[in-house]
Amino acid sequence: MPLLIADKFDASLQRLSADEQKAAKLTVYELQTNPASPGLNYEAIKRAKDKRFRSVRVTRDLRMIVHEMGDSVTVCYVGHHDDAYDWAERRRLEAHPKTGAAQLVVIRETVREIEVPAFVQASRPPDSPPAGTSPPPTARQPLFAAATDEDLLGYGVPQDWLEDVRLAADDAALETLAEHLPAEATEALWELATGGTPEVPVHADAGEDPFAHPDAQRRFLLVGTEDELRRALEYPWERWMVFLHPTQRRLATMAFTGPARVAGSAGTGKTVVALHRAAHLARAHPDARLLLTTFNDALAAALRTKLELLLDGEAEVRERITVTSLDNVALDIYREAFGEPQIAEPAAIASAVAQACQGSAPQRLSVPFVQSEWADVIDEWQLDTWEAYRDVPRLGRKKGLRQEQRAELWAIFEQVGATLDSSGLLTMPRIYAVATRSLSEGRAATFDFAVVDEAQDISVPQLRLLAAAAGSRPDGLFFAGDLGQRIFQTPFSWRALGVDVRGRSKTLRVNYRTSHEIRRCADRLLPPQLSDVDGNPESRRGTVSVFTGAPPNILVLQSAGEETGKVGAWLKALVDAGVGAEEMGVFVRSPRELKRANMAVAAAGLNAQLLDPEAGVQTGQVAVGLMERAKGLEFRAVAVLACDEAIIPSQARIDEVGDYADLEDTWETERQLLYVACTRARDHLLVTGVAPGSEFLEDLIG
């Protein structure tokens, strides 16, 4: 007997106590292994409109709702007796009449205590209102006035809800409706409401299995073996592991004709696609060597943990996927050929540049500019001759240089290189250069495929290494990233390095992590569309969240003491409402502000733990850390503190800018840093600063 598990079952299971969850899981095991067991005590639900729902006894008061369709059984819900029966009485499980996808539909006429704000036609105002009076307000058009019933059905809207959808007048109405509609319908309606053109779901042919539809697979998991059932029930259920959006599934399994990239704003599941892409390639190519990587160790550790969860029980597949940071890939190749490198510290490089400038001061160019020119052009692009520097287009550098200025600078850079060489010091770009040559010349083993997460922050040497490591196959390179979260790297042309993703770049638009209110607030920090140096656009228009929540709080306070009190009270109120301390994160711009964060946590009567993405957060501890360390993390509640006028954008960083022309990029990355911090929040967001506050706070308020 085929057994399916609905995502609604997972949500209901998490609301039970630990002992109740254990009992419910044992009942699901019995359903799979012995569905005719008398102990299951099947009962009809007399008041249910869908007569295929059955109640299964879990304990004296706990009931599981299952649904029988053909020869399959779907585990739908678990709860205490009255709650479980009430849930079943208000729903139907059916194939949508247009798309053919299996849907759990809330029956409209039995929904209690729901008020959908609707469009009401106002009477036509008189041509000239009486003196001293105001004309009546102009009636607003319903959001979906131009859509026909056939259109709405085509997007997956259930028949029961057509009228409510047609009357919806504003975002509030749509947010209310979203709680009762299937995901594909909600996404399409948000897309329409924001001026986009929704992607029409697949329409299945008559007689096809409704659970095999791509949209049905987002909410129903077919369990084939006892091991699959164990994985689904025994782990903390990560929905990304099994309930994929059709677009995510397509990208994870598609055969590409060249390097490909998936983009999307924070929370849209880019990392999910990267993980599933790596797993798919390993399964499809049993003899292949795969690299799953990103730009730093902490993010690589998070990828490793998630991949092990995804591939539990598939040891042979897992062992062929190397999960590590790009720095480790380069260092391992270098060590194998030359032994342990001696890496130059930033202070040593800065000192070498400063000393070289003293002997040959360039005209009208500051020492900070020369240092940035060394880091972003000479070292980054691994230029080792005057001719190479003379002719390089300096992509990403906004200040132009005359040839005579470049000649002056090259004399300085030759001295810097000689100083490092005499000390036996190497920079990481130089280690990358050696590793890349080793790969290109066949002196180091390459990978068949490389899947790269957080690709917006990879550097020139890292991209060159990737092209050498896995660029020989048409579909050997796959990238996931968001230009709006670029906070570490100066933009550069991928095409100039032979990695061209034009025509093979897809933007995800469904946000699973961040509420509609928080996403909409954070998006105000960024333009609606960003483009890379090669002109590949990433549009944020039409991105929708799958759930709603509390509006963010943006506060400009009169003193740091007042901020401590406000944030402390906010954290305490969340704990009192049932949010665990370990489900909260507090972020600041720089180490100098960590004291303010710790004081706010202490004011709430809670303990703070310095954020370590590799180690995780201990139960009962509030994670406190820097904004730049927040990448890849998620919390139910986030407070972003100390957003003061000189703190973000960072005055210290602005003072270090080598040239006025580079200020724009610095400003952009500071905005993007705040965006990263805010979008770690799932349900609750608080952003504070001391008056007059950061100028970015005005954008968040809107």
Q: Tens of pLDDT along 618-631?
A: 889 999 999 999 98
213-216-217-222 Cα dihedral, nearest 10 degrees: -100
Nearby residues of 262 by Cβ (< 8 Å), 6 or more positions away: 251, 270, 273, 274, 478, 479, 480, 505, 506, 507, 508
Convert the pLDDT of each residue in 457-504 to its tens digit: 999 999 999 999 999 999 999 999 999 999 888 888 999 999 999 999
Convert the pLDDT of each residue in 230-250 to its tens digit: 777 765 446 666 678 888 999
Phi-psi domain of 6 (left: phi exceeds 0; alpha: psi -120 through 50; beta: other): beta
Question: Which residue in this structure is represented by tokens 């000649």?
Answer: 407
**Cis previous bond, 126, omega within 30:** no
70/674: higher pLDDT: 674
Report CA torsion sign: 675, 678, 680, 681.
negative
Instruction: Show the 3-state SS of 430-477.
Output: HHHHHHHHHHHCCCCCCCCEEEECCHHHCCHHHHHHHHHHHCCCCCCE
Q: How far is CA 374 from CA 327, 356, 380, in A?
A: 20, 12, 8
DSSP string, 6-25: EHHHHHHHTTS-HHHHHHHH
Convert the pLDDT of each residue in 245-283 to its tens digit: 888 999 999 999 999 999 999 989 999 999 999 999 999
Q: Please report how many Cα atoms fall inside a 13 Å half-sphere around the Cα of residue 675, on the Cβ side.
A: 24
Q: What does the pLDDT average to over 623-641?
A: 94
Instruction: Tell me: pLDDT of 365 over 80.
Output: no
Least confident of 134-148, 161-175, 496-510, 530-544: 134-148
176-182-184-186 Cα dihedral, nearest 10 degrees: 0
What's the predicted TM-score (pTM) here?
Answer: 0.83
d(CA 457, CA 479) in angstroms, rounded, equals 11
How do 510-511 and 544-545 pair as beta strands? parallel
How do 321-325 and 290-294 pair as beta strands? parallel
Question: Quick check: 110 and 41 in contact, CB under 8 A?
Answer: no
Instruction: Tell me: pLDDT of 655 over 80.
Output: no
d(CA 246, CA 88) in angstroms, rounded, equals 27
Give me the pLDDT at residue 658, please: 55
Convert the pLDDT of each residue in 4-36 to its tens digit: 999 899 889 888 898 999 999 999 999 988 888
Give me the pLDDT at residue 491, please: 85
Nearby residues of 201 by Cβ (< 8 Å), 6 or more positions away: 99, 101, 154, 155, 156, 184, 188, 214, 215, 246
Convert the pLDDT of each residue in 85-127 to its tens digit: 999 999 999 999 999 999 999 998 644 445 555 554 544 444 4
d(CA 20, CA 5) in angstroms, rounded, equals 18
Instruction: Tell me: pLDDT of 700 over 90.
Output: yes
What residues does 609 pair with on adjacent strands?
A: 623
- Other residues' Cβ atoms within 10 Å of the Cβ of residue 452: 24
- Looking at mean pLDDT, say which of 286-300, 498-512, 526-540 comes out highest: 286-300
Average pLDDT, the chain: 88
Q: What does the pLDDT average to over 433-452?
A: 96
Share of the chain above pLDDT 90, in %: 62
Q: What does the pLDDT average to over 568-589?
A: 96
- For residue 2, which of 70, 80, 62, 65 has the smallest C-alpha distance? 70
d(CA 233, CA 696) in angstroms, rounded, equals 44
Instruction: Tell me: pLDDT of 131 over 50.
Output: no
Give me the pLDDT at residue 116, please: 58
